[in-house]
Structure 1
Amino acid sequence: MKIHSFSGFYFRLLLIAFPQFVFSQSVGFTIQDVKFESQGITLAGSILEPEKPLAAVVIVHGSDPVKREMEFAKRLAKEGIAVLTYDKRGVGESGGVYVGPSVGTNNIDTANLNLLAQDANAAVKTFGTYLKDKKTPVGLVGFSQAGWIIPMAASKNPQIEFMVLFSGPTITTLEQLRFQFYTNGNNNFWENHTEADALEHTKNDPDKYQFTATDPKTSLNTLSIPGLWLFGEKDIQIPVKLCMEQLNTLKAQGKPFEYTLFSKLGHNTSSGNDTAPVDIAVQWIKHKASIKKFKLSK
């Protein structure tokens, strides 16, 4: 067992009391490594908890074989947000099998997305047992592919009280693939194509793969929790304008959904030199949490 920055006497106490966890102390928050079960396998992650968290979030991965998102988690924890981040199924210290194009499998098949949503809900359940203040609002924050996973998870879990999605699609999985094949990784795509071109191909191109599409709106239609989407206008992975149109339709139906568009950004809205998307997400989470706590105090 590895211990970071505690006295020798406290080492021994922790080894006796918490033999399966790793603790560390960082500026303003603690870091505690945990393991939890989901659908027959063990997932490994870390909990970052400020002394008095304003809110708590579980981080949901994008499509890549990603380990726990520690740098992003620390960024949130420094703002007073507790975080549980874990190695994706089949990656790092987590058990199970990673599914994705890099290993020749379909990671947006409905069965796999549902499995990843169950992993996220298992993380939420585990997180709740570690938070000191059980009234701390808990939400999901995720990237890209999480746009399908988070609504699935939230629609089945009343513990989830808000969601933040960085470049998360609101279109079906097959529509997203049609758009991605059309842009073909060309970073200059939007210099030579119009929104009308993109919409035409996204709606009507023949599918290169045959599988049942997942439509996130099926879950979003059942949700009444606040949601925030952060989009980059130059995205070549998802058709952002179409996603915003669909969010506008949901908003018109009374859904508490919001979005922000960044004109100079692409698909990567959660890291890089431009901190505005994460800054906005942090302030939004704090605001929603303060409203929740105000209602509880009345």
Structure 2
Amino acid sequence: MKIKFCSKFYIGIFLLSFPLSVFSQSNNVIIHDIKFESQGITLAGSILLPKNPFAAVVIVHGSDPVKREMEFAKRLTKAGIAVLTYDKRGVGESGGIYVGPSVGTNNIDTTNLNLLSQDANSAVNTFRNYLKGKKMPIGLVGFSQAGWIIPIAASKDPKIAYMVLFSCPTISTLEQLRFQFYTNGNNHFWENHTEEDARDHIKNDPDRYQFVTTDPKATLNTLSIPGLWLFGEKDIQIPVKLCIEQLNTFKVQGKPFEYTLFSKLGHNTVSDQDTAPFDISIQWIKQKSLHSRTFKESK
């Protein structure tokens, strides 16, 4: 799995760079290229605005050096959701330094995860300013490593309405690494190992990296917004059943957290070949957006 980090800074600076913006329109979708500030650097992205959107989301990256997720964003806009997607820090047109596996480090320490969460918060602030006057909730949608980033970002912004997490961990960063080293990229891992094997290894394996671990349970415990996790049972990046166990504990405590498990899928739960996870996420966002609007109108 791919992963990243951050610290306790407040992201207050954001800027819509209208002189640098580019507008285009295609299939009733307006695409607006933007730039905004986060922690002293400029991030570049795009806003995709469909006709009559019912909700809005900011896309949060996994651990890869990913540019703005335009294809996934277009799938969302086709379903009626406004999207802000941006080039990850240090990637594409965004400033800063990218830290991650493809440059020789699994840097998922707390400092970097917090920094990436600040980028997400700046993106949300930018999007909120852009959508000013449009009454629609803004949520966070992310992949893999975003499972650590999104809860941190949501804890800093009480106006974030919901979160959708594709193949995202609910265990600590060090626990995830122990599991990932154990599976070692073996797609047939679950044919030769049991859940008990995996849990025993996660509990007892010595750590190969020394850094302050991030445990999303601490942040999730402070949140009361709806969350949806989508898992593939054959995942070899995160121990899915252990993650689900943590979510069930939160559900018993009354947290509005839900999940769906897909028995035939692995870590990639956003494939356009099997659209079930994506379709479920869209229906869920519609439901939560309707509830959010109804609640606000009744106040």
* Partner in structure 2 of residue 14 of structure 1: none
Amino acid at match of 1:71: E
Structure 2 residue 218 is the aligned partner of structure 1 residue 218? yes
The Cα shift of 1:160 comes to 0.7
The Cα shift of 1:255 comes to 0.4
Amino acid at match of 2:231: F
Aligned counterparts, 1:51-62, within 5 A: 51-62=51-62
* Partner in structure 1 of residue 137 of structure 2: 137
* Partner in structure 2 of residue 94 of structure 1: 94
Q: Matched residues in 1 for 2:78 and 2:133: separation?
A: 18
Show CA shifts across 1:226-276 (max 9, x none): 000000000000000000000000111110000000000000001241000
The Cα shift of 1:204 comes to 1.4
The Cα shift of 1:132 comes to 5.1
Runs (4 or more) in structure 1 with deviation over 3 Å come to none
Structure 2 residue 6 is the aligned partner of structure 1 residue 20? no
Q: Matched residues in 2 for 1:251 and 1:118: separation?
A: 27
Aligned counterparts, 1:164-175, within 5 A: 164-175=164-175
The Cα shift of 1:20 comes to 1.4
TM-score normalised to the size of structure 2? 0.92
Task: Between the two structures, name the one with larger relative contact order (CA 8 Å, sep ≥ 6).
Answer: 2
The Cα shift of 1:135 comes to 2.3
Q: Matched residues in 2 for 1:86 and 1:153: separation?
A: 16
TM-score normalised to the size of structure 1? 0.93
The Cα shift of 1:18 comes to 4.5
My pick for the range that moved more, 103-112 or 23-32, is 103-112
Q: Secondary structure at the match of 2:202?
A: helix
**Larger Rg: 1 or 2?**
1
Please tell me whether the aligned partners of residues 124 and 159 of structure 1 are also in contact (alpha carbons under 8 angstroms).
no
Please tell me whether the aligned partners of residues 113 and 148 of structure 2 are also in contact (alpha carbons under 8 angstroms).
yes
Q: Secondary structure at the match of 1:161?
A: coil
Q: Matched residues in 2 for 1:113 and 1:294: separation?
A: 34
Please tell me whether the aligned partners of residues 29 and 49 of structure 1 are also in contact (alpha carbons under 8 angstroms).
yes
**% of aligned pairs identical?**
78
Please tell me whether the aligned partners of residues 37 and 43 of structure 1 are also in contact (alpha carbons under 8 angstroms).
yes
Please tell me whether the aligned partners of residues 50 and 82 of structure 1 are also in contact (alpha carbons under 8 angstroms).
yes
* Partner in structure 1 of residue 42 of structure 2: 42
* Partner in structure 2 of residue 4 of structure 1: none
Instruction: Classify 1:280/1:133 alpha carbon distance in 2 versus 1 (closer, same or farther; 3 Å).
Output: farther
* Partner in structure 1 of residue 72 of structure 2: 72
Q: Secondary structure at the match of 2:46?
A: strand
Amino acid at match of 2:81: I
* Partner in structure 1 of residue 162 of structure 2: 162
Q: Matched residues in 1 for 2:202 and 2:272: separation?
A: 28
Instruction: Classify 1:135/1:107 alpha carbon distance in 2 versus 1 (closer, same or farther; 3 Å).
Output: farther
Please tell me whether the aligned partners of residues 79 and 282 of structure 1 are also in contact (alpha carbons under 8 angstroms).
yes
CA RMSD of aligned residues (A): 1.2
Gapped regions of structure 1 (runs ≥ 5): 1-16
Aligned counterparts, 1:135-214, within 5 A: 135-214=135-214
Q: How many residues of Structure 1 are paired with residues of Structure 2 in the alignment?
A: 282
Amino acid at match of 1:168: C
* Partner in structure 2 of residue 123 of structure 1: 123
Show CA shifts across 1:80-103 (max 9, x none): 100000000000000000001221
Q: Secondary structure at the match of 1:228?
A: strand
Show CA shifts across 1:59-95 (max 9, x none): 0000000000000000000111000000000000000
The Cα shift of 1:219 comes to 0.6
Gapped regions of structure 2 (runs ≥ 5): 1-16
Q: Matched residues in 1 for 2:203 and 2:135: separation?
A: 44
